[in-house]
Amino acid sequence: MLQLPAHTYMPDTHEATLACARRSRDWRKALEPLEGAYSDETLRAYSADFQRFSDWCRAKRVPYLPATPETVAAYLDDAAQDLKPATLRRRTAAIRKVHRMTRHADPTLAEAVTLALRRAKRSKMARPRQALGLTAEIRDLMLAACPGNLSGLRDQAMIMTGYDTLCRRSELVALRAEDIELRPSGGANILVRRAKNDPDGNGRVAAISAATLVRLQAWLKASGIVEGPIFRPVHGKVVKSRHLHPLVVSRIVKAAARRAGLDSVSVAGFSGHSMRVGCAQDLNRRGLDLLTIMRAGGWRSSNVVARYVENSDLTIWD
């Protein structure tokens, strides 16, 4: 564990409090030019993660802007006790970005910070936890258990669309009604405008089956949606104009699993990515090659797909 270097601490005075408040305003203002260049989610993460770092520094009575490499390394060592390496990397990125935007030297480039991240990774040499796959068999159980009200129609359409398109939860809630294009042969195509691995917003076209299109059109007709976000919050008989929050996708999937009578362990294993995982597993069982699965889900790395499908039930080939 690194020890923090000695600092000349700022006394607890009114002036010190005002100075701290000014620094806080300055770094938040410095992030404003990033708007439009980064997603809103990324900007929120930068702000929240640097705020956590600055809170930790204040508690330790050490400067956070600019911060020394030793301070950042000590923060990472401390946070590593509770956080995953991926979260630590994200917080390091926020510290890096704020320092660069405020024209301070980047403390994260130092070897001390690199070593702190390596220590965190080696201390938790565990395989990444994968969401339980929502396969077609499980999907159909959930659909049958959905209520016939407005929210039930939305949940059915969302689960089927998420499965067909292999969308991540953030992509799923961003789908828009005007981007649905009917196919003469049945079913439809839909534009996935932006993805996690598509920062330039080139988008990809995903296929929707005829069965899914029926559920989707039933929801759109009942909700009166003709343009804008497809999947929206429902309060009684009122459909809101905004899209669902990505975190709500997981709640809807878990609620559908409970209604379907699935066991508590399975319910806990489902997430907003379960439809993406489940469809990839089904495609693998059907014998589709890796490149085809990657194209269907918009993957650029075969390693991620390989991890998704490794839990597939391959008894079909016995």
Secondary structure, 3-state, 239-297: ECCCCCCHHHHHHHHHHHHHHCCCCHHHHHHCCCCHHHHHHHHHHHHCCCCHHHHHHHH
- Indicate if the pLDDT at residue 316 is higher than 80: no
* Domains: count for the chain: 2
For residue 2, pLDDT over 80 is answered with no
Residue 5 lies in a domain: no
Q: Mean pLDDT, the chain, as a whole number?
A: 86
Give me the pLDDT at residue 33, please. Answer: 94
Which residue, of 68, 100, 123, is where some domain finishes?
123
Q: Residue 311 above 50 pLDDT?
A: yes
Local structure of residue 231 (DSSP, 8 states): S
Shared domain check, 168 and 144: yes
Helix segments in the chain, DSSP class H: 14-30, 40-60, 69-79, 85-101, 111-123, 136-145, 150-165, 169-173, 210-223, 246-259, 264-269, 274-285, 290-297, 302-309
The model's pLDDT over 192-235, given as tens digits with 9 standing for 90+, comes to 987 766 666 678 899 999 999 999 999 999 999 999 999 999 99
pLDDT score, position 143: 96
Predicted local confidence at residue 61, as pLDDT: 95
Convert 119-139 into a string of H (helix), E (strand) and C (coil): HHHHHCCCCCCCCCCCCHHHH
Q: Is the pLDDT of residue 166 over 80?
A: yes
Query: If DSSP codes are grouped into helix, strand and coil, which group holds residue 196?
Result: coil
Count CA within 13 A, CB hemisphere, residue 276: 25
Is the pLDDT reported for residue 301 higher than 80?
Answer: no
Do 111 and 141 fall into the same domain?
no
89 with 223, same domain: the answer is: no
pLDDT band at 287 (very low <50, low <70, confident <90, very high): confident
Residue 4 covered by a domain? no
21: pLDDT strictly greater than 50: no
Q: Which is more confident, 13 or 109?
A: 109
Tell me the angle at which helices 246-259 and 136-145 cross, rounded to the nearest 10 degrees: 80
- From 65, 93, 123, the end of a domain falls on 123
- Shared domain for 143 and 217, answered yes or no, is yes
In the predicted structure, residue 94 carries a pLDDT above the cut 70? yes
Same domain membership, residue 157 and residue 111: no
Together in a domain, 262 and 155 = yes
pLDDT value at residue 49 = 96
Q: pLDDT above 70 covers what percent of the chain?
A: 86
pLDDT at position 126: 58
User: Are both 110 and 152 inside the same structural domain?
Assistant: no
**The pLDDT of residue 69 is above 70:** yes
In a domain, 52, yes or no: yes
303 in any annotated domain: yes
Q: Residues 39-63: what's their mean pLDDT?
A: 93
Q: How many C-alpha atoms does 92 have within 13 Å on its Cβ side?
A: 28
Cβ distance 65 to 105 under 8 Å?
no
Share of the chain above pLDDT 90, in %: 66
What pLDDT score does 149 carry?
A: 95
Return the H-helix or E-strand segment holding 207. strand 204-208
Same domain, residue pair 161 and 304: yes
| 30 and 152 inside one domain | no
CA atoms within 13 A on the CB side of 198: 17
* Cα(43)–Cα(35) distance, integer angstroms: 7
Q: What is the pLDDT of residue 127?
A: 57
| Residue span of the structural domain in which 64 resides | 14-123
Q: Worst-scoring range by mean pLDDT, 135-144, 155-164, 197-206, 236-245?
A: 197-206
Statement: residue 115 has pLDDT above 90: yes
Same domain membership, residue 104 and residue 80: yes
Q: Both 255 and 186 in a single domain?
A: yes
Longest dimension (CA), the chain: 75
Tokens of 46: 């930068």
Domain boundary among 72, 94, 123: 123
Residues 46 and 157 in one domain: no
Is 29's pLDDT higher than 80?
yes
